[in-house]
Amino acid sequence: MKLQNKIALITGGGRGIGRAIGLKFASEGAQVILAARSVDQVKQAASEISRETSARVLPLVCDVSEVASVEWLFKSVKEYFGRGPDIMVNNAGIAESAPLTKTDDEQWHRHLAVNLSGTFYCMRAALPEMIEIGWGRIINVASIAGKTGGPYIAAYSASKHGVLGLTRSAAMEVAAKGITVNAICPGYVDTEMTTRGIENITKKTRLSAQEAMDSIKKMSPQNRIIEPEEVASLALLLASDEGRGINGQAINVDGGTLMF
């Protein structure tokens, strides 16, 4: 059991990558908190993981873009477990597309609020206790869009670039304190976010859903999209003692789409 006696808090935990990470961590002995905005989704995910692993999984509702909501989240974790998380996975995120000239203020600020500020708020709340005990893991789920640009994703890409800067700066601050801070940069993953992307492509082009999926697959040299479990396996490495030498990194899980 690689995470025995560890407490792991995962935002965006109601589905997709967050749910897969929760399942992986629970199967390795962690006590897991899943946080998400949708109460129904997060409760269902927690129930399924508990049933499958017999682990202790706590579902909590949180909007990471709101400081007060994040503060309530961490207060609730401490009340339930008696201490804060040893492992913080910042997975909550949104992805919307629009040409730059048609990206309105609301869309721009929404991406920064959820993807970047939400990650910052949770890191800021988690780190003090990790520093105090001399052990901790911060894992930020970013994107390969945080390393390169792309048409129609200016707000998303900018927010994920920010997550990588935040990750690297924090990693330097806490490197000597028993804490690592890393980012995972997935390509297209088989989640609802990708499904919505395909729907958007079909609306704006003459491509069918299958043709849109095929075009996405061809972006990877492996000609496929990534499974959430692949991202979860990397998260497990970064969360465990086996990954203690990995710090300040932004690791791609994309089949070789980007090689930097």
- Helices marked H in 99-206: 105-111, 118-133, 154-174, 192-204
Q: Any bridge partners for residue 11, and if so which? A: 35
pLDDT of residue 215: 84
CATH classification of 7-187+231-247 is 3.40.50.720, yes or no?
A: yes
Per-residue pLDDT at 204: 73
Query: For the chain, what are the domain ranges?
Result: 7-187+231-247, 188-225
> What's the CA angle centered on 186, arms 179 and 260, to 5 degrees?
80
Q: Is the pTM for the entire model greater than 0.85?
A: yes
Closest residue by Cα to residue 32 from 53, 17, 15, 16: 53
Identify the pLDDT of residue 191. Answer: 87
Task: Give the catalytic positions in this structure.
Answer: 156
- Helix or strand (DSSP H, E) at 58: strand 57-61
Q: What is the pLDDT of residue 135?
A: 98
Q: What is the model's pLDDT at position 9?
A: 98
User: Which are the contacts of 238, defined by CB distance < 8 A and separation ≥ 6?
Assistant: 137, 139, 180, 182, 184, 246, 251
pLDDT, position 49: 98
Which residues in the chain land under pLDDT 50?
A: none
pLDDT at 89: 99
Residues 225 and 231: their CA atoms lie apart, in Å, by 12
The per-residue pLDDT for 209 is 84
Q: Given this model, what pLDDT does residue 30 score?
A: 98
